[in-house]
Each structure stands twice: as C-alpha cells, then as structure tokens.
Amino acid sequence: MSDVLAVNAVNLTKAYGSLTAVNNITVQVARGEVYGVLGPNGAGKTTFLRMLFGLIRPDSGTLEVFGRSWPRHGVNSLSGVAGFIESPKFYPALSGRRNLRLLAGLDGGDAADRVDDVLDMVGLTARQHDKVRGYSFGMRQRLGVASALLRNPRLLVLDEPANGLDPAGIRDMRALVRRLADTGLTVLLSSHDMGEVEQICDNVTIMKAGTVVHHGSIAALRELAPEQAHRISTTDDDRAAELARARGLEVTTADDGLDVRGPQKDVDALIADIVDTGIALRGLTRDETPLEALFFMLTESAPAGPPAGLDAATGGRR
C-alpha cells in the first residue's frame, strides 16, 4: 500500500450546462508532499476540490483518495481526509475552543482529546476562550485548520488558505503548512498566488479555464521561468536602453522607466555602465519574480492544454 497515491485523479471532467468547469484534468499527489493547485479565479480549482470531497460528482474520469473512490466506498473514501472549501464557518458567539469541542462531538472517537493539541499547533491557545466574532480573518483560517486536524487526517485539503490575509497572516499560514508537512501529513492546497505556492509546495498543477497548462515540481518550474525583471529609472532612459541592449538584455519601455530582463550579473554590469556614463540612476526595483512571470505567461496567454515539452498525463511524474 506504500505506493498508493494520496490523490489519484485521472481525466476528470465536470460541466454545468454549456460551461465546462474542469476539462479532462489529471492530478496525482504522493503521500507526504505539499501539492499546490494553482490558477486564477475561474480556473476550476474549487470545482476539483469539491469533487475530491464528494460534494459534486465528475461527469467522467476517476478520482481515488488513498486508493478509495466514491463509487466503490461511498463516504468511507474520505477516511483520513479533512479540510475546508472556501472559508471555514463557525458560531461567532462561541469561543474558538467551544466551536472545536462541538465539532469534536460530531466526529466522535478521540477528537475531543485532541482539542488542546490542535489549538497549540495552529497558535491559538492564548485566544481559545475568546469569541470567534473577535477573531481576525487569519485567526478564523487557522481555526479552520485546527478543526480539520481534530480528525487526525493523513490528507489535509485547504482551499485558498491565505486568501484575504495580511502579510503577517500569510507568513503565519505558510509556516503552519510547512510545520504540518514536516510531520508527514500530506497537504493539498489551492491558490492563485505563485509566491505562496513557490515557498511551501513540492509540486504544482497550474490550471487555466478548467484545463491543465502545467504539471511538475517547483524546481522544474524555476528552470522554465524567464530571467528576473528589474524596473530601472534614470535621467536618460533612451541612453540607458541602448546600454542595456548592448549587453544583450531584454528591454521594454514603461511609463516610469525601463523594464530590463536578463541574467543578474548582466543587470549589475548595466548599472555600472549607467553610472560610468554619467547618467543619474533614479530608481531600481525588482519587478515580478521569474515564477510569477511564468505563471502569467501560462495562464494569460497559453492555449488550452500543456505547453510543449510538459507532461499533462501523469501529474508531473514522468
């Protein structure tokens, strides 16, 4: 059983009338990894997760979780699975602890004995007796993770866990996911933020309009990504652009300067050229990261299906 995938979704399709929300996608998640399903709003991420939880049924294709499927095993196919779709909901007039105890009572088993542990795991012990109506959005997200962990799952499914969080909340959620993964828990999350996925995921499926445009590891994505872009502003942008092109850098004129893309060492040399020429450097900032640039390339301009050279049939496992 050790080679059984945590999630094995093959050729899934789901349509609502004339709208095909998910079109023949394959996603395969190994045990113990953090896997990201990435795409802009409307890409089909939540539809896929709803099928995984059995909230909707695919029109075609197969979906197994730890070797179990809804057609063969019914609700037992979700044994060892926990998580939430969209934002978790709680009774606002009750404390975080009281909400968890109510959910533990519904789950039965040893869930009630795990309340203290899960509160500690998500960093809510100090606020456990406060009413949920006083929680920040990030705290409610963490309480949602705590409620899922009551079931002591083998697979944790999170739908946009950092959506709506401030930078500190995003940092805390990212650290929480990594801590959980370090315990051997398999984590499947959806996101529209490449920066979030890059820092916490091992492998990723990128979707656009219900189709898969890339499967693979974060390391493989980095190899495909373009060079880092920089925004440069000077007192003579035309001359600076000439210097950049002379060094083989890609240059695009922007409203407030130049977008320059190329190897970091060549950008560094360009800055020295600009200063040596007597042009005043007014601004130098990094633009979108290489992986962010690749994400936009794949989801804004890519045709349906994976780009040439990428494997869409095996979820990135060649």
Q: What is the mean pLDDT of each run of 10 residues along the chain (318 residues)?
A: 83 94 94 91 91 94 94 89 89 96 87 92 93 92 92 91 79 86 91 81 90 85 75 91 91 85 87 92 78 73 46 40
Residue 118 falls within a domain, yes or no? yes
pLDDT for res 288? 65
Report the distance separating Cα 229 and Cα 231, nearest Å: 7
Q: How many residues does the chain have?
A: 318
Residue 98 falls within a domain, yes or no? yes
Q: Calculate the CA 56 to chain-centre distance.
A: 22
Report the distance separating Cα 158 and Cα 29, nearest Å: 14
Same domain flag for 206 and 259: no
pLDDT for res 91? 95
| CA dist 210 → 30, 46, 196, 298 (Å) | 22, 10, 21, 13
Same domain flag for 201 and 257: no
Q: Which of 132, 154, 129 is nearest to 142 (CA)?
A: 132
Same domain flag for 14 and 144: yes
Residue 131 falls within a domain, yes or no? yes
Residue 311 falls within a domain, yes or no? no
Q: Which residues contact 287 (CB under 8 A, 6 or more apart)?
A: 228, 229, 230, 231, 259
CA-atom Rg of the chain in angstroms = 23
pLDDT for res 257? 87
Element housing 149 (H / E): helix 137-149
CA angle 264, 268, 273 (to 5 degrees): 145
Domain of residue 24 covers 7-217+294-300
Same domain flag for 18 and 137: yes
Strand-pair category, 229-234 with 257-261: antiparallel
The CATH number for 133's domain is 3.40.50.300
238-253 residue pLDDT tens: 999 999 999 988 888 8
pLDDT for res 290? 63
pLDDT for res 264? 82
Residue 138 falls within a domain, yes or no? yes
- Note the pTM of the prediction, 2 decimals: 0.77
Domain count, the chain: 2
Residue 308 falls within a domain, yes or no? no
pLDDT for res 26? 94
Same domain flag for 193 and 48: yes
Identity of the amino acid at 311: D
Same domain flag for 210 and 73: yes
**For the packed helices 237-246 and 264-276, what is the interaxial angle rounded to 10 degrees?**
130
Q: Which residues contact 201 (CB under 8 A, 6 or more apart)?
A: 34, 35, 36, 189, 218
Residue 83 falls within a domain, yes or no? yes
pLDDT for res 289? 67
Residue 284 falls within a domain, yes or no? yes
